[in-house]
Amino acid sequence: MPTKPSAPTAPLVRAVEEHDHEAVHAILTSRSVIAGTMRLPYAALHTTKERLSPDPGVHRLVAEVDGTVAGFAELITSPGHPRAAHVGDLNMLCVHPDHEGRGVGRALLDAVLELADDWLSLTRLSLVVFADNPRAARLYERYGFEHEGVMRRLNRSRGTDVDGLMMARLRD
């Protein structure tokens, strides 16, 4: 009798550790992540290490699939600004191209929203997604992010100016 294919392993989401820096660098310098963000190609490893250095209010997560770091997310809060203590910004959500389309982005977003809602009690979560990235925008819409406005010609992508779509998710 043929054996049943085993179910894909669910991503494990955890905090970024120092030993993840090279894996996160590989994600941040991949072509699809450069296309979907404001990053420049050819970033050196030390720039990623600097970016990942501890910073109060910045929450960084990775998603592991079968022991490999497959995705990265960064939530920025403002603990030093009491009047914005309820606000968070999803500054980065990205998945290595080898792992796209397998639920890694969703697993990271689930974890970020749990952190924001249940632990940090944030009531406003914002992000910017580029107009040439409808797949990411749809993902955010499905998680309750609503369109708030357009930042015209915010990002240059392969010689073309692309609008930034401002989105936010508000909780009572």
- Is 129 a binder of ligand COA (CB under 6 A)? yes
Minimal distance, residue 100 CB to ligand COA, in Å: 4
Minimal distance, residue 143 CB to ligand COA, in Å: 9
Minimal distance, residue 88 CB to ligand COA, in Å: 15
Q: Which of 170, 113, 122, 168 is nearest to 146 (CA)?
A: 168
Residue 115 neighbours by CB under 8 Å, 6+ apart: 59, 61, 75
- Is 94 a binder of ligand COA (CB under 6 A)? yes
Task: Between 52 and 89, name the residue whose CB sits nearer to ligand COA.
Answer: 89
- Is 104 a binder of ligand COA (CB under 6 A)? yes
- Is 88 a binder of ligand COA (CB under 6 A)? no
Stretch of 1-9, 49-57, 89-97, 157-165 lying at the interface with ligand COA (CB under 6 A): 89-97
Minimal distance, residue 91 CB to ligand COA, in Å: 9
DSSP state of 100: T
- Is 105 a binder of ligand COA (CB under 6 A)? yes
Separation of alpha carbons 160 and 11, rounded Å: 35
Separation of alpha carbons 41 and 78, rounded Å: 29
Q: For 74-107, b where at least 16 C-beta lie within 10 A, e where not — what string?
A: bbbbeeeeeeebbbbbbbbbbbbeebbebbbbbb
DSSP state of 38: S
Q: Residue 75 pairs with which residues in a beta bridge? A: 59, 90
Among 52, 62, 69, 95, binds ligand COA (CB under 6 A): 95
If binding means CB under 6 A, how many residues of this protein chain bind ligand COA? 20
Chain positions contacting ligand COA, by CB under 6 A: 32-33, 36-37, 93-95, 100-106, 129, 133, 135-136, 139, 142
